[in-house]
Structure 1
Amino acid sequence: MDTGFTIRKATLDDCTALTDLCMRSKQSNGYDDAFMAMCAEELKVRDSWIEEHDFWLAQDAGGEPVGCIRLSMEDDGETGELETCFVDPVWQGRRVGRALFDALYERARSLGLVRIGLDADPFAEPFYARMGFKTIGRSPSGSIPGRTLPRMELILISGQQGT
């Protein structure tokens, strides 16, 4: 089945396009310009994210990013953190997120991770639940003082996606 996109590792040349993608995707949840301005610095894709973490993107046939996902490692060697996950609003519902998660799960298995955590946007919490994550608490927002986000976790069992 032709999905119209491919998955590849992000490169430093992708930073600007990925930042634009993250902003478009976040704003598609109905956030106003003032809210987005408060999130802009947190959503800006940095070179270090690509150099130091596992960062993948989905690209369309023209090479434009239509989704991205980033996994970092905790010092304990057993825990990963899903740091970035966005899909272009036009591409939502077309299995881009699922394909990106397949890359994430494959990498998590190869690293021998036991769990993956994330601080979810409230609008994305149902999507992450479909991907196998459970809400385990609340975390402070990195952008908005006083705002909290769902803290979610996926337990990986025997190198497999767990529920």
Structure 2
Amino acid sequence: MPIRPYAPEDRAACLALFDANVPDFFAPHERAEFETWLQDPGEYFVLEDGGQVVACGGVWLGPEDRGRPAGLSWGMVARNAQRRGYGSQLLRFRLERLRALGAREVHLDTSQHSAPFFARFGFREVRRVPGGYGPGLDRVDMMARLRGAG
């Protein structure tokens, strides 16, 4: 499945992915933040299947004077396309991108529902805030070291 950089024409498809993942993976109030963020998402990617966007997610890399922190941003898979390997493919792509940029450690925050997925890729929980995103939706901060980085 092709993974390519996000384009403004992908906005509606990415918002539809977000909407399909509420309330289990995102809180309704987060939509406005995501919508604003899509105006200038930096390094953001979409994964297509049959010309249709089925997943999206990005990476960020902080400044060197702060130890070059790196992370993952706004990753999601179409609700009806989950458990088909799209999320794994997109995550591997994003981790490889961060490795190429020189990142050694990757941070993310997610819900308790997605945390086990990231744990399978070597992420470990560093903090949990019950209800951190809203009622019944915990915020789980995770991190992983990249092998072969630096």
Contact kept? 2:25, 2:114, Cα under 8 Å? no
In the alignment, the residues of structure 2 paired with residue 142 and residue 48 of structure 1 have an alpha-carbon distance, to the nearest angstrom, of 25
Find the partner of 2:32 among 28, 36, 41.
41
Aligned residue in 2 for 1:18: 14
Aligned alpha-carbon RMSD (Å): 2.5
Aligned residue in 1 for 2:2: 6
- Displacement of 1:54: 1.5
Return the letter of the residue paired with 2:58: R
Return the letter of the residue paired with 1:155: R
In the alignment, the residues of structure 2 paired with residue 80 and residue 17 of structure 1 have an alpha-carbon distance, to the nearest angstrom, of 26
Aligned residue in 2 for 1:68: 56
Is 1:56 paired with 2:45?
A: yes
Return the letter of the residue paired with 2:39: D
Between stretches 110-119 and 11-20, larger displacement belongs to 11-20
* Structure whose residues are more often helix by fraction: 1
Seen in structure 2, the aligned counterparts of structure 1 residues 126 and 30 have a Cα distance that, compared at 3 Å, is: closer
In the alignment, the residues of structure 2 paired with residue 64 and residue 8 of structure 1 have an alpha-carbon distance, to the nearest angstrom, of 12
TM-score normalized by structure 2? 0.84
- Displacement of 1:93: 1.0
TM-score normalized by structure 1? 0.78
In the alignment, the residues of structure 2 paired with residue 30 and residue 140 of structure 1 have an alpha-carbon distance, to the nearest angstrom, of 14
Return the letter of the residue paired with 1:19: L
- Displacement of 1:15: 1.4
Find the partner of 2:96 among 106, 110, 119.
106
- Unaligned 5+ segments in structure 2 are none
Contact kept? 2:25, 2:113, Cα under 8 Å? no
Contact kept? 1:42, 1:142, Cα under 8 Å? no
SS state at 1:47 partner: coil
SS state at 1:123 partner: coil
Is 1:126 paired with 2:116?
A: yes
Seen in structure 2, the aligned counterparts of structure 1 residues 157 and 139 have a Cα distance that, compared at 3 Å, is: farther
- Unaligned 5+ segments in structure 1 are none
- Displacement of 1:65: 0.9
Aligned residue in 1 for 2:72: 82
- Displacement of 1:143: 5.4
Can you list the C-alpha shifts for 1:42-76, whole angstroms capped at 9, x where unaligned? 23252210xxx221111121x22100111111223
